[in-house]
Structure 1
């Protein structure tokens, strides 16, 4: 719908007082005739037809001094709109208006324009503050002289004709942003002065940029009252609220280091309201903070949330906690446009808080949860799928904001730990103290960054205890759990099919049998996702719905749920058994190594670090630079190497003794890397651990990463085997020392059998390696 109005004016401008104007369609007719001559085919016929229609109204081919005349010709304005706007445009959504030349006096505008800019009570246009009006006035002056210079002096002036315009929307009460673009094609300018036009001085227009640089002189030389503008003005308006919100949010994120977090988050929340176009929502942006690989649900950072932290005393707390844990495990968009249609207690709780629609959007980066955007409204109609589209457009900015917050949180924790605690081993703590003191002592004069902690010429020892075929065993446990649950579903569906005439049950049974057939041959990652979705989104809703029926159906479903885990309704029997076995083995190894580490420090200070994989790996570094006040002797290195062999043999014995106690019998493999040459190590601040220093030592790190998958040459056999210790080396001399240790331990009945001397297959970046292997 479009509106023909007598006049809608805004008498706050001064430019129109300086110029003579005529409302006229003659420039439009001339332009249409030009289009008719230059066009061909059907487009030419369309222009000719429109022109023929318009020429039937001679009254409109003269200047119009009374807009009431237009009331007689509504079809003329419809034809005019058809020519101006393409047929494919959404005319009902176009924001445009037709005005007197150089006046904000509109005689015709679209319904969309009226909704945005016209106060229906007063008929006046909605305006912003006076500064904005002055900017529009300046823009109009530049436009006037641009046309004059172009027509009478052949001077092309480039200028941005688009004017940004922002004001508080009368419907939403929020600041909205638009871009107003005038169209001068339907205007003509004529000189009406009596004297010849003067020559222009140089310096009025910049030759390089074609910009007006002396507007005051132009006004003196070419007064606007000597020109007449004829035609009509067209302005089109584009809603740029989304782009402006994106820009504003970027600025908020850039200001974060200098502002309090609550100020930044409040500003982001308000900008999101503007983006959504409604003030009737509550917005919370919540960072997900991790501590020790666990999300922390701290009240300090989750104040005001509607869903994530209900009161502990609430009757809904337990159900909320389960839903929250599931959300963390399987992040997904939660969109409930009408909470009144939901029958869950969670929906009930949100309704009690005054909400009728709810949206929770997980924000992730590279499979890492950064946080969640939570939006709720007291109205059913406020949130829609369009809201999701708008949120998608600003996700990268929200990711940056949350990532900054998380890093800031981690920095606070790190600073506090450094102030109150030390996780450094005593054997190397002294070096950190030296580096810190050197920094404090010299920072006022040198401005140098803090130096790094480096230990030169230390001897490395590396050991790895791995769980044999852990990936295979884990996948096997998953397969067994899935098979058990699918068979249980089959039994339950058989009962239900006898009780209800529902073809859907037959389809589910067919799908269920298909899954059984597929996983009997193994499970692919995609299949795992499909089966989990099948359990949770297809089986659970139907079983829960039919559970309310009486008789055999209810009993069968109750039996099904009794055998599944209560929250996820999954069977985890075999997976739990595998993880329990893995945990017991690793705990046994870790406890043993912790005790041994303390004993080793008594002989000679060393740096001992271990880290968890499916098993346990450790690095030991020993050398003079770690204990400069205690003379180093190679006997301490030999002592450590002998200990390494003995400890690996003990670990084999301990883990084999554990097998009768394990739900799943798992075996370990033992691996040692022999490296006789000393290396340099430095502390990596980003990972808070020591790593090799320099390109020369890089090969050692590469070997550590490769040898766990090493194969014996020309056999295809894995080097590491249960019940045996494998020792990898590059130089034959490296092996001679260990052979003597093996001989000694065989005499003590700790090691047995023949020592295997093996060559290894080449690995990426590593070749020429050999190995010793001996049975425990």
Structure 2
């Protein structure tokens, strides 16, 4: 077998001891007779077998000349040190080892029969190029430093992984160009410097087998398990979302096993919550706490005894329990942490505080199912790794705080993606000013020349519906109280009960004839302050206990009133808002794909939405009025779809309510700015304020000369002020009529003047409905109601 088989390399490898023998030729002339005699004996051994100096690629020669090679390498592999030093002789880029120390052989033997020695950190794809860089160093004098730490990972007899760093001695190597080698010029070198990954270029400059490598390398190997374990811990702790990685904790266990030299250990963590004075579990795949077990959190004083509490929290020092069973016996079962460990079958443990100058952040828990393997002696090994764990926890806490803030921002004060770039720009400027020691201010966020779009689907008669539900609940509650007092009068003829009945009748009469703003509060106060104490007294009397208990069971615990019809109303409003907002959000994704724009929606008694589109928001030179017209048509179409969706699900709501839709058209571009106090965008300037006034009041506006509201159930109202808007939307309506979204009953009406706003008009047109998603028939609102009720 040839060493070079199945290897593509610019080097033709030959094992040769020429450079080593040249050293012995010098030593043969030494004045020291012993050194000279030894050198001559080695030279004589080599002279009998010329291939040892000339070089060979046939692996079988190694076995044939095993004795002679051992003699030649005797000084390099001292018999006195062979059981201590870890050393090999080999050829580069090859697993062929032809001489090694006894300790190396012992390490490989303990690794097991199925272990295959393989160098780590040696990129297989780059070996050709690495060989080329070595040629540049050896043959052309270019000092290219490509040295990387290479190492072996070898398990011991117990299966614990050890790390061995390899240091090469390349004094006995020589590289000679063959006839096929191309001379490397300065231009070639300059080109190669910028093309490390261009394998074809390297092969062009250094053809395969164009240089002869003669010699061997001596590998001095050192056990760096402790250092590498610490490095691996650092590497493991660096990076995001480690807690989501299923294999992370098992890998973490393996690192600690190597560090402590113990196979049977596990690692756990618990977080210290300073505000609650509790230990909490760390959330993540495979994350455990052996201190608090399966519970989510536990009080520090319940998890630790007095001594261990002071040791971890006050002194911030680690401690070990080398024999849990013995400790349980000594403590007579009074130490909570010993009991917890014993319950889980743990026999020895180390608990170490993760703390910085600000105090305790958590506990590192290392446990074993065997006694005495974890103790106060090997616990000292944690000294070297705790700073990295502390740093990781500090970073994790900071990231968690940032994540919490980010979630709050997203869920509570969301910045729409279309304008996020502008906020990010100002935030960067803010940070830059702070870093430079300047006064940092967050500048005003504003966008000019923006076209607004506004729409709403509003619940008609919501105030009347809520008042009706309130009257019904209060009437039921008053009647229930009245019945109790009427029954009470039969056995206790006290005038006060008659007076209460009279007052209840007066309230019931008022609810029927005139329900005022303060009626609800008056009745609630009467029931709470006057009636409830009496009922609590009656509840102590057996004859009335059943009726009074039944009354209190009907009262809502949170608001202390009867909450039946009002709950049905509130649930209906909440469901309408949820369903309509969800549909609008889903449709908005389509609109954003058409052209990016700012969008926000609000839940009131219905759902409102604002849209702003323009060049200053998109940040690109791409805006064209066609995108505005497209969004206007999209908005009108979506409002029709929302009307349909609402009436298709109306029968599922606890209370049957109607909705009316409206779109406000504003023809002129305006400016908007972000109001920091309200965390939302608003229009800028006095002129633009006219738009906000119209938006807030127009849905309550009347048609001129009438008492009819502009918004009507079953219709979409499009409010505008310019004739060109009227023409534009009539085109959209005609198109949507062709698609059976809208009916043919178009009407154009004038609106009564609003405060500081005159000249408003509206187009009103009926929506066409389907009974269900599958239904292909078209219905007007009145037809739909008849169909639904039929």
Which category describes the TM-score, using the shorter chain as reference length? Answer: 0.3 to 0.5
Name which one, 1 or 2, has greater alpha-carbon Rg: 2
TM-score, length basis structure 2: 0.45
TM-score, length basis structure 1: 0.45
